[in-house]
Structure 1
Amino acid sequence: MTDLSVLGWMPGLDAELPVGSRPGRVARVDRGRLTVLTGDGELRAHPAPALLEGTGPAVGDWVALRGELVVAVLTRRSAFTRVVAGRTSAEQVVAANLDLVLVVDALTTAPRLRRVERYLAVAWGSGATPVVVLIKADLCDDVPAALRAVAEDAVGVDVVVVSSVTGEGLAAVRALVGPGRTAAMVGPSGVGKSSLANALAGTPVAATRGIREADGRGRHTTTARELHLLPGGGLLVDTPGTRELGLVDGAGVDTAYADVTEPAAACRFRDCAHRTEPGCAVAAAIDDGRLDPARYTAWRKLQAEAHRQALRSDARARAAEHARVRALHRSYRSQPNRLH
């Protein structure tokens, strides 16, 4: 028997369980089949058809089971989500019920600050706490300089430097992912998330491949999201790398760019566009060196992207409603005994 608190169970979830069901936590999703961790061990299950609408069960979800059938997904307290790649507003839940989002990047090149900022914006919007983990420190010539650059840019976020080879920083990450706490590793393909997962677990739990000689970058290995139980009692979600991380909404953008939004709140005009308006506190912060203009530009770019996504989502919802109404009209017209 496994104590469900080890898997991150929260006492208040009992009230959500349908009568005659038992709880389990989704560890993996494979083409509609679920690997679920329960108090009695691991089992394979499949979701009820009604649950396949919308985002469906995701890794990290708490679900209600009747035998091998998942009959309900319990309320998510947090979720790292992204827009499916391409011209779409479809939303994908990468991992649910997280305490931490580990934004992983490798120190094999100069810090890619704009990319880290994008991941932090999505992480803040998830409801979990983001932490930047800079790995492959053993391959970096100037770790202090790289750490300083990222720490100055990642406002309000802890930054940890790690080497899976030397063991540097692993204890600090393990301390963050304590018993019953769940963290998801997110980041681009090939940065070394699987190697980090293996180092934290103390045993191979994810496949790895060597770096490419041409550019020193890692090779993509993880193909599915998976929840691993760590020796210290924490839980870690390893995720496939993403070439494109689309914003679902702008919920975390302002938090990630607090150094921009704080002076913006002090502008003379509430609708200040931060361009040529008199009394613009953002312009003043840029002029006196308190605000990096590149950060301001990145903030505006992500705000605009979130606005476009909101418009696409609204258009999709309207189209779905129109299709529903048309289907009802067709159904009514096809009834043989309807009144004329």
Structure 2
Amino acid sequence: MILEKYGFTSFFEEQTVANNADYGRVTAVFKDSYRVITEQGEFLAKLKRGNFYDLSSSSLPAVGDFVEVNIDFSQTVQIISVLQRKTVFSRMNKDSEEQLIAANFDYALIVMSLNHDFNLNRLERYLTVAWDSGASPIIILTKADLVADLTSYTDQLEAVAYGVPTYYVDNLSHMGFEALEHDLKPRSTLVLLGSSGVGKSSFINALAGKTLMKTSGIREDDSKGKHTTTHREMHLLENGWIVIDTPGMREFGIGLNQAGLETTFSDVEKLTEHCRFNDCSHTKEPGCAVQEALTDGSLSMQHYENWLKLQKELAYHARKNSPALARQERDRWKTIQKTIRTQYKKRPKNK
């Protein structure tokens, strides 16, 4: 079966489809069409508009989605519905709108290069959404051949990504790939996340054992590269793995990924359980276990500050997506402003 090679399992097969409909998997998303692989071949498909009243991103097909399609060779192939997802990765844009990136993957490979792109704050963002997606995160550090001593990177990763499998690789010499390939389960779907110029396309070529993706060099002054991937696309490798490549994303919002945030910052979350006050803000209250850990050096200040930043971002998106929370926040600020005005009026006037 073709779809079996593309990750089709009993989880999807047991979901009911319409009469005379076929299963398919979305392998690429374009502006107004989708490329879908089915048992009858690969087609460009359109949405059956009457079945998609909600045109929000989370309701539309994403790369990796299994869908039911109506194949009529005399007409345009139509996507009738999206089957239930096992895992999903999305990000929040500046307007607090969810943007779906990929679905139904087993591993989320966070690709960073050991040059100017290495950024712990960005890594924590990726880990937050990766954990929340339901898949297993893996860290891939490319250009390892350029680093003589990896100890400093290992120490930094232990502080923010303890327990997450990490592989140091070189795409050209294939260094580090043997261990990675040994640990990946056969016929798994992998989604690659990372900024432009980190070597995602070169990594896919190295994993495939041949050139599948166009690659470009990086600027020596800032290590930034061009966008060699312009849309989300799936590739079936000869060794059986299914890879979803995504355009480079240097910054993105974590959205409403509370569970992912708690997992990424599990060390900080555990500390908060030992604070003296239940409503501790973990900034200046007495008996704060988080502040004590910062003082004795067992908690990194950078790790803590990024946790605070992402907590605020999470609360912001929660308010944007919940009228009740937004109203509550407005009322809170009205109370604060009223208190300030009252205190100002009570101040003695200078004679």
Kindly provide the CA deviation profile for residues 157-187 of structure 1, in whole angstroms up to 9, marking residues without a partner as x. Answer: 1111111011111223333443231111101
The one of 174, 186, 198 aligned to 2:193? 186
Partner of 1:32: 32
Q: Does the residue aligned with 2:322 lie in a helix, a strand or coil?
A: helix
| Counterpart in the other structure of 1:6 | 5
The Cα offsets for residues 61-113 of structure 1, whole Å up to 9 and x where unpaired, read as 000011021101001111110012x3x12111110011111111001237311
Match of 2:118 in 1: 111
* Separation in 1, partners of 2:170, 2:185: 20
Q: Distance in 2 between matches of 1:155 and 1:90?
A: 31
Aligned match of 2:42: 42
Flag structure 1 segments of 5+ consecutive residues without an equivalent. 319-340
Structure 1's consecutive aligned runs of 4 or more residues displaced over 4 angstroms after TM superposition are 315-318
Cα distance per residue 1:173-227 (max 9 Å; x no partner): 3334432311111011111111101111112221111122333333221101111
Q: Residue in 2 aligned with 1:166?
A: 173
Q: Does 1:64 align with 2:71?
A: no
Instruction: Report the counterpart of residue 150 of structure 2 in structure 1.
Output: 143
1:126-152 CA-to-partner distances (Å, cap 9, x unmatched) read 111111110011222433322332233
Q: Note closer, same or farther for the CA distance 1:106–1:316 as it changes in structure 2 (3 Å cut).
A: farther
Q: TM-score, normalised by structure 1?
A: 0.87
Mapping of residues 188-227 of structure 1, within 5 Å: 188-227=195-234
- 1:153 aligns with one of 156, 160, 165: 160
Distance 1:303 1:65, change over 3 A: same
CA distance in 2, matches of 1:111, 1:308: 27
Indicate conservation of the 8 Å contact 1:111/1:150, yes or no.
no
In the alignment, does 2:265 pair up with 1:266?
no
5+ residue gaps, structure 2, are 72-76, 327-351
- Tell me the CA shift for residue 283 of structure 1: 1.8
Q: Mapping of 1:83-98 within 5 angstroms?
A: 83-84=92-93, 86=94, 88-98=95-105
Contact 1:89 1:316 in 2 (8 A): no
Rounded Cα–Cα distance in structure 2 between residues aligned with 1:316 and 1:162: 48
Partner Cα distance (1:44, 1:186) in 2: 25
Q: Distance in 2 between matches of 1:178 and 1:230?
A: 14
Give the equivalent residue in structure 2 for 1:77.
86
String of CA shifts for 1:272-301, please: whole Å, max 9, x gaps. Answer: 111232332212222222211221111010
Equivalent residues of 2:167, 2:180 under 8 A apart:
yes
CA contact (8 A) 1:155 1:257 kept: no
Contact 1:59 1:96 in 2 (8 A): yes
Q: 2:39, 2:321 → 1: CA distance?
A: 39
TM-score (norm 2): 0.84
Give, in angstroms, the shift of residue 120 of structure 1. Answer: 0.7
- 2:281 maps to a residue whose letter is A
| Aligned equivalents of 1:178, 1:171: Cα separation in 2 | 13
Aligned partner of 2:55 in structure 1 is: 53
Aligned length: 315
Work out whether residues 155 and 256 of structure 1, in 8 Å CA contact, stay in contact via their aligned partners in 2: no
Q: Secondary structure at the match of 2:321?
A: helix
CA distance in 1, matches of 2:181, 2:233: 18
SS of residue paired to 1:89: coil
CA–CA separation in structure 1 for the residues paired with 2:20 and 2:184 = 33
Query: 1:218-261, CA deviations, whole angstroms, 9 ceiling, x for partnerless residues?
Result: 32211011111122211111110013211121321111011100
SS across alignment from 1:134: strand
Equivalent residue letter for 1:165: L
Structure 2: which amino acid aligns with 1:32? D
Q: Considering only aligned residues, what root-mean-square deviation do their CA atoms show, in Å?
A: 2.0
